[in-house]
């Protein structure tokens, strides 16, 4: 396991962490200021400044990417399926333009939440089927573009409205069916926040192996958690055993950037430099 | 699958559903008034009026029980283990006195939350081990008392602070190790709220079979959910496909009471009779 106590060279900042404090270019500037070597941009933040300007900012600052957030929201009624397919191909193209190593997929929940305007449904089994069909469809395009897809199992509390793929087991079952050869074209984004609770975590990380772990995200689970979406904790403030989980992931050979991704009303209310400084300190002490 | 559209004869009211509106005896009186045939009492509500008075109220009203809530909170440091064991034996005795068909187990999360005062830990694997050891220990006592234990997998959002058994698979793995003969002494409480999201739900209900399904609880998952603990929805107000899940459970031969259990600030703020009337109506239309 890598020693992170002395520096933050393996930290990547997911740009949602400071999304309220500045635009994408300002976040890139702040990263350069703090010696952060990598970022993982969100699509809406890139769109806000324009893709060309985002690409120039990243390249100008000499930043690596650890991923691109996000494709997905595959679950739609028939009238919204083409919108989903077009949107996901654009996400692959943008990831390619930015030089991302993978496109993170948040697969969507029920159709009325995944693609608003879709006819409402309570059928999660249908959603599971559609997710798998649509990943298969996108995978063909992504392979040609040379862009790996990182399926992110989300915490089960998001099953209905954000992602109906909720465990490592479920995500790996999909990967094994769609990419049995472990070609590198399809794998997982493993986020401590979403998976720390799982009694099978150790076994499923071992099952994933190096070939399937395309990204590793950290933040912490707070007790109490006051908001289902926007109360993620700074590393060290919660109950997730982050170093133990990192050890499992690195035991499989993962040696890439560790991405800090907080969605938090608390941290969004603080100055950007303070948040980044805290991320760096906690990366050394609690990751 | 039983037809519930004409009456509520198979409804049991979990007394937490109206815990803020009256004491246990008042709730029993209300059930009698509304023709509710069964309840599932919580321990603190029973303790509040005294066990003897609670027993008399239940028997006087001719009510059945569908369970007793709850034993568990097994995870403790060494200094709190005896407290946990004594407490759980008392729960078995109370369940017996009340004539409950099973004692529901909420197993506890990390020790500092499960048994306050315990030394803090982030080690869920340790918690899993302790839960299994302590269920095994209690099972011996419960078998002698003739009181089945109904292990309840709780939604993963409660893994740290309430229950580190979070999926049907995990719970059934424990049952199969501790009671391989499917003797009836150990099984599950299946609660739609906790398990509706699980891609393995159908397969694990089939695996459970009639022998392992000791209780079946319903309420609904709201989108958005505004509070992790106290924002459960009335049946029909959310996104869980309750009839589809009931069909799976009944296909295994389950034919007992279906227990309505809402923990909800919204519903706690309404008059008891209104809440019960709504439960009965929704039981007929949305369960």
pTM, rounded to two decimals: 0.98
Interchain CB distance below 8 Å, A241 and B124: yes
Q: Which two tokens stand for residue B187?
A: 């099984």
According to the model, what pLDDT value does residue B148 have?
Answer: 98
Whether the CB of A6 is below 8 Å from some CB of chain B: the reply is no
Closest residue of A to B174, CA-based? A199
Interface probe for B, chosen from A118, A162, A223 (most Cβ of B below 10 Å), is: A223
- Which structural domains are found in chain B, ordered by start? 11-286 (3.20.20.150)
- The pLDDT assigned to B1 comes to 95
pLDDT tens readout for residues A231-251:
999 999 999 999 999 999 999
Whether ipTM tops 0.90, in short, is yes
Q: Do B166 and A197 touch (CB under 8 A)?
A: yes
Chain B hits for A247, CB-CB cut-off 8 Å, are none
B 66-125 residues with CB below 8 A of A? Answer: 110, 113, 122-125
Cis peptide before B97 (omega within 30 of 0): no
C-beta of residue A98 within 8 angstroms of C-beta of residue A68: yes
- How far is the CA of A163 from the CAs of A271, B281, B282, in angstroms? 31, 32, 28
Alpha-carbon distance B248 to B270, whole Å? 33
- Neighbouring C-beta atoms of residue B223, cutoff 10 Å: 18
Give the pLDDT score at B54.
Answer: 98
- Predicted local distance difference test score (pLDDT) of residue A40: 98
Q: Is A167 an 8 Å CB contact of chain B?
A: yes
Chain B partners of A124 at a C-beta cutoff of 8 Å?
196-197, 199, 241
Is A205 at the interface with chain B, CB within 8 A?
Answer: no
Backbone angles phi, psi at B258, to 5 degrees: -105, 120
Mean pLDDT of A250-269: 98
Helices A168-178 and A124-145: angle between axes, nearest 10 degrees: 50
Give which of B120, B122, B248 to mutate to test A binding, by max A Cβ within 10 Å.
B122
Q: Do residue B241 and residue A124 have CB atoms under 8 angstroms apart?
A: yes
CB contact under 8 A, A228 and B223: no
Query: What backbone phi and psi angles, to 5 degrees, belong to B18?
Result: -130, 35
Q: Which of B160, B169, B197 sits opposite A156 (nearest CB)?
A: B197
How far is it, in rounded angstroms, from Cα A271 to Cα A277?
A: 10
Residue A64, chain B, CB below 8 Å: the answer is: no
CB contact, 8 Å: B145 with chain A? no
pLDDT at A47: 98
Q: Does B128 sit within 8 Å of A156, measured CB to CB?
A: no
Mean pLDDT over A108-131 rounds to 98
- Phi, then psi, of B52 in degrees rounded to 5: -60, -45
Listed as ranges, residues in chain B with pLDDT below 50 are none
CA A50 to chain B, closest CA, distance in angstroms equals 31
Whether B228 and chain A come into contact, CB under 8 Å, resolves to: yes
pLDDT in tens, B126-177: 999 999 999 999 999 999 999 999 999 999 999 999 999 999 999 999 999 9
Contacts of B157 in chain A (CB under 8 A): 155-157, 225, 228
Cβ atoms within 10 A of the Cβ of A195, count? 25
Cβ B167–A124 below 8 Å, yes or no?
Answer: no
Across the interface, do A156 and B155 touch by the CB < 8 Å criterion? yes
Spatial neighbors of B41 by CB under 8 A, at least 6 apart, are B15, B24, B54, B58, B65, B68, B69, B98, B100
Q: How confident is the model at residue A217 (pLDDT cuts 50, 70, 90)?
A: very high
Q: Do A159 and B197 touch (CB under 8 A)?
A: yes
Contacts of A221 in chain B (CB under 8 A): 160
Local structure of B185: helix, strand or coil: coil
Q: Are B136 and B127 in contact (CB under 8 A)?
A: no
Is A223 in contact with B113 (Cβ distance < 8 A)?
yes
Confidence of residue A7 (pLDDT cuts 50, 70, 90): very high
């Amino acid at each position: 396991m890598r020693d992170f106590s002395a520096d933050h060279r393996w930290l990547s900042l997911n740009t949602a962490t400071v999304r309220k404090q500045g635009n994408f270019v300002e976040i890139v500037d702040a990263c350069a200021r703090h010696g952060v070597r990598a970022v993982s941009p969100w699509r809406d933040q890139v769109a806000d400044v324009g893709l060309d300007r985002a690409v120039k900012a990243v390249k100008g600052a000499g930043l690596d990417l650890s991923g691109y957030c996000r494709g997905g929201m595959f679950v739609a009624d028939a009238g919204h399926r083409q919108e989903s397919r077009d949107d996901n191909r654009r996400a692959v193209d943008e990831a390619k333009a930015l030089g991302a190593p993978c496109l993170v997929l948040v697969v969507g929940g029920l159709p009325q939440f995944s693609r608003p305007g879709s006819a409402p449904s309570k059928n999660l089994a249908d959603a599971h089927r559609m997710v798998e069909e649509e990943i298969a469809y996108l995978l063909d395009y992504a392979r040609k573009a040379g862009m790996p897809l990182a399926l992110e199992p989300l915490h089960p509390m998001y099953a209905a409205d954000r992602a109906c793929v909720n465990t490592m087991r479920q995500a790996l079952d999909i990967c094994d069916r769609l990419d049995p050869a472990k070609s590198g074209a399809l794998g997982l984004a493993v986020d401590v926040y979403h998976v720390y609770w799982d009694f099978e975590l150790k076994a499923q990380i071992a099952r994933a192996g190096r070939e399937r772990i395309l990204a590793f995200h950290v933040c912490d689970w707070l007790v109490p958690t006051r908001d289902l979406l926007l109360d993620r904790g700074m590393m060290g403030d919660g109950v997730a055993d982050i170093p133990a989980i990192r050890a499992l992931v690195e035991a499989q050979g993962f040696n890439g950037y560790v991405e800090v991704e907080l969605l938090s009303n608390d941290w969004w209310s603080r100055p950007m430099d303070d948040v980044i400084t805290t991320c760096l300190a906690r990366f050394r002490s609690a990751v």
